């Protein structure tokens, strides 16, 4: 049988594994940081209307520049982050993964490098590989916060072209403070100048104020966002960035023409009309997150500070065995490969109760 290695694939892809969070059919799935709440019926009706309208012109290509959608996203950011931005500051793509890919195609690529502070979102390194960008794994402190002095040294020594900061960080959950972002931005300008991409996929769940005002006067700073988490629309595939208009102009050089389908644009616009309802779910999820943190601590687990819709907890001598024990009780969580730790996404109250029950039983078994 022919295998990958029998094909003339690029050398750097040989022996590698694809992204692969398990998609198992179990009663409680808390492993990919999805929003557990289905979209409300009124929004489903509005999506149907908007998509029906879009279907009338599906013989035509979509608006290549997605102007109406970018305007609506800019309005959302202006309102929620308290800093005025316009469509010229915003660019949208199929999930923030595609936004990140376009950024690396533009600012990374062969002969260039990107740095991330690990453990962090594994796709940054994978997309770097896919775009031929060299990857540098930067350091973190024991408590998973960014070690600023070590990060500055790493940036100065490696002179990367792109610096990734994930805030709140995935899989550890903690937001990065503004001073750290500014310090790393300065280090990246002194060494590079490099682009600094702050991945704020979980920004709406954070206690920390938005970093949006920082893009003013910092043309090398990019914020990456998504509708997959707070908007409960992971299936939609809609991510976006906010930055200086020059960054938006630059990514035009690599984006595929008509990359965002008319159906995607129509659906995202409908969801943005229901922002207030969707953000109320975010508040419920934040309350549930705080409940999970305190219950996990009272069971006896260590919990990393969470500003997101997921929680890293431990410590386990054997995280894989603990992951399996929780799965055996019908709850799928995530083993991100951080030694001693597992990650659980915040679900509905009933799902969280099922998880807590499994976690409680496991803790008794481990400590017996």
How many Cβ atoms sit within 10 Å of the Cβ of residue 39?
Answer: 22
Nearer to ligand PMP, 114 or 191 (CB): 114
Nearer to ligand PMP, 35 or 262 (CB): 35
CB of 233 to ligand PMP, least distance (A): 9
Nearer to ligand PMP, 191 or 205 (CB): 205
Kindly list the residues in this chain that would bind ligand PMP in the complex (CB under 6 A): 33, 95-97, 121, 166, 170, 199, 201, 226, 228, 234, 239
Largest CA distance in the chain: 65
How many Cβ atoms sit within 10 Å of the Cβ of residue 300?
Answer: 12
For ligand PMP, which residue has the nearest CB? 95
Beta-carbon contacts of 350 under 8 Å, excluding residues fewer than 6 positions away, are none
Of the CA atoms within 13 Å of residue 337, those in its CB half-sphere come to 8
CB of 121 to ligand PMP, least distance (A): 4
How many Cβ atoms sit within 10 Å of the Cβ of residue 253?
Answer: 9
Question: What is the DSSP code string of 163-208?
Answer: EEEESS-TTT-PPPPHHHHHHHHHHHHHH---EEEEE-TTGGG-SS
CB of 327 to ligand PMP, least distance (A): 20
Q: Are 200 and 225 in contact (CB under 8 A)?
A: yes
Question: What is the DSSP code string of 281-294?
Answer: HHHHHHHHHHHHHH
Q: Are 38 and 364 in contact (CB under 8 A)?
A: no
Nearer to ligand PMP, 97 or 312 (CB): 97
Helices (H) and strands (E) in the chain, counts: 11, 12
Nearer to ligand PMP, 166 or 262 (CB): 166
Q: Checking phi first, is residue 37 left (phi over 0); if not, alpha (psi -120 to 50) or beta?
A: beta
CB of 163 to ligand PMP, least distance (A): 15
CB of 367 to ligand PMP, least distance (A): 31
Q: For 40, which DSSP code?
A: P
Nearer to ligand PMP, 106 or 166 (CB): 166
Q: Are 153 and 160 in contact (CB under 8 A)?
A: no
- Angstrom CA distances, 84 to 76, 216, 300, stand at 10, 10, 45
CB of 364 to ligand PMP, least distance (A): 31
- In 3D, which of 344, 306, 349, 307 has the Cα closest to residue 327? 344
CB of 151 to ligand PMP, least distance (A): 18
CB of 365 to ligand PMP, least distance (A): 30
Nearer to ligand PMP, 191 or 341 (CB): 341
Nearer to ligand PMP, 163 or 201 (CB): 201
């Amino acid at each position: 049988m022919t295998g990958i290695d029998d094909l003339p694939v690029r050398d750097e892809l040989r022996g590698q594994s694809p992204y692969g969070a398990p998609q198992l059919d179990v009663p409680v799935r808390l492993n990919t940081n999805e929003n557990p709440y289905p979209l409300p019926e009124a929004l489903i009706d509005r999506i149907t209307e908007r998509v029906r309208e879009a279907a009338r012109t599906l013989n035509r290509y979509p608006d290549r520049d997605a102007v109406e959608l970018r305007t609506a996203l800019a309005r959302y950011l202006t309102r929620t982050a308290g800093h005025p931005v316009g469509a010229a500051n915003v660019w949208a793509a199929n999930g923030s993964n595609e936004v990140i890919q376009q950024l690396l195609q533009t600012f990374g690529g062969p002969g260039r490098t990107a740095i991330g502070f690990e453990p962090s979102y594994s796709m940054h390194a994978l997309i770097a590989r896919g775009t031929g960008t060299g990857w540098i794994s930067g350091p973190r402190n024991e408590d998973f916060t960014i070690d600023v002095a070590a990060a500055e040294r790493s940036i100065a020594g490696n002179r990367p072209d792109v610096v990734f900061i994930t805030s709140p960080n995935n899989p550890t959950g903690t937001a990065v403070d503004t001073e750290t972002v500014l310090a790393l931005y300065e280090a990246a300008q002194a060494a590079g100048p490099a682009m600094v991409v702050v991945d704020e996929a979980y920004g709406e769940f954070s206690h920390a104020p938005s970093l949006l005002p920082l893009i003013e006067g910092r043309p090398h700073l990019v914020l990456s966002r998504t509708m997959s988490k707070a908007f409960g629309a992971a299936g939609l595939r809609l991510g976006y960035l906010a930055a200086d208009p020059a960054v938006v102009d630059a990514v035009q050089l690599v984006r595929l023409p008509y990359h965002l389908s008319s159906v995607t644009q129509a659906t995202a616009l409908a969801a943005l009309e229901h922002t207030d309802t969707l953000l109320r779910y975010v508040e419920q999820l934040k309350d549930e997150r705080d409940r999970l943190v305190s219950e996990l601590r009272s069971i006896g687990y260590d919990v990393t500070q969470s500003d997101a819709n997921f929680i890293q907890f431990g410590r386990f001598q054997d995280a894989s065995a603990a992951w399996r024990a929780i799965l055996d009780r019908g709850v799928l969580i995530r083993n991100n490969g951080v030694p001693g730790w597992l990650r659980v996404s915040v679900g509905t109250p009933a799902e969280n109760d099922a998880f807590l029950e499994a976690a409680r039983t496991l803790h008794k078994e481990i400590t017996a």
